[in-house]
Structure 1
Amino acid sequence: MSSASLKPILVVEDSAEDFTALGRAFRKHALQNPVLRCADGDQALEYLQGYGRSTNWPSVLPAIILLDLNMPGTDGRQVLEIVKQDDILSTIPVIIFSTSSNSKDIDDCYQLGANSYLTKPIGYAAMEEKVRLIVQYWLEAVELPVA
């Protein structure tokens, strides 16, 4: 088990339905990490840039960030750009998890520093499989930074 075993997973997702499905899939794969939700980019940045300062958030940074692209207000592209330009946050793997399979969105996200880009599947079984792969690769196989 990697050093990320107890760090939270931050899901930045404006759709409550999508977050519920993700949570169910994470539980099915016996994820021990807490799963946190930020409903928009502003809330995600508030948490990431102010972690440890508020009693509402854990005092550690997440092991990984699952980031939706198209959200109202500060969208996923802006969050990604800010995270990857921040000396403290830049080592956190950011996995874009979006309904968009547009090649421009994919290219733009990798240019901004995304570590991975996954399209959200339509069916729940396919969602479970993507979550299994995320857990297996990002939380069990790779060595993530300790900080």
Structure 2
Amino acid sequence: MSAGPHCSMLLVEDDPVDLDLILRALAPHIESDGIGIARDGEQVLAWVEHWEHGTHPPPQLILLDLKLPGIGGLEVLRRLRGSEPGRLIPVVVLTSSDEPRDIQAAYDLGANSYIVKPINYERFLEGLHQINRYWCRTNRPPS
């Protein structure tokens, strides 16, 4: 299966196993040069600076884990939504937290979707395929 239409994405994930699984699941659907990787909150904020200065275009989608070392995912989301380039980028929270307070906080801060990582590998793959189909193929972002 070949990669589909060009979709750019920032994947924010610190767990090497989850990162590998996500990249493998997305590989048939997204060009490898279309996926940026940040392993902690500081790296995400560095990406935001590049977008603000026009040195890199912002991605079409951000997959954001909440449990990150240093600056956590909720704080990253708050700062992202406070930046001009980050306020309209769709953010899908993809995390292991099923805590109601995390879900509510993510939506309060502007998350577009909240997905709890399933333990089952097949369900995890199917969820990632659905994310890709919707956000990279069906959804039409603003110019």
TM-score, normalised to structure 1, is 0.86
CA RMSD of aligned residues (A): 1.8
Taking CA–CA contacts closer than 8 Å with sequence separation of 6 or more, which of the two structures ends up with the larger relative contact order? 1
Any unmatched runs of 5+ in structure 1?
A: none
The aligned length equals 138
Q: In the aligned structure 2, how far is the partner of 1:113 from the partner of 1:51?
A: 19
After superposing on structure 2, the runs of 4+ consecutive aligned residues of structure 1 that deviate more than 3 Å are 51-54
1:16: how far off?
Answer: 1.2
The residue that corresponds to 2:6 in the other structure is: 6
Distance 2:17 2:142 in 1: 31
- Indicate conservation of the 8 Å contact 1:7/1:60, yes or no: no
- Counterpart secondary structure, 1:22: helix
Larger deviation, residues 32-41 vs 130-139:
32-41
Counterpart residue type for residue 14 of structure 1: D
SS in 2 for 1:95: strand
Query: What residue in structure 2 maps to residue 44 of structure 1?
Result: 44
User: Could you say which residue in structure 2 is the equivalent of 1:90?
Assistant: 87
Q: Does 1:23 align with 2:20?
A: no
Q: Return the letter of the residue paired with 1:144.
A: P
Give the unaligned 5+ runs of structure 2: none
The alignment's TM-score, normalised by the length of structure 2, stands at 0.89
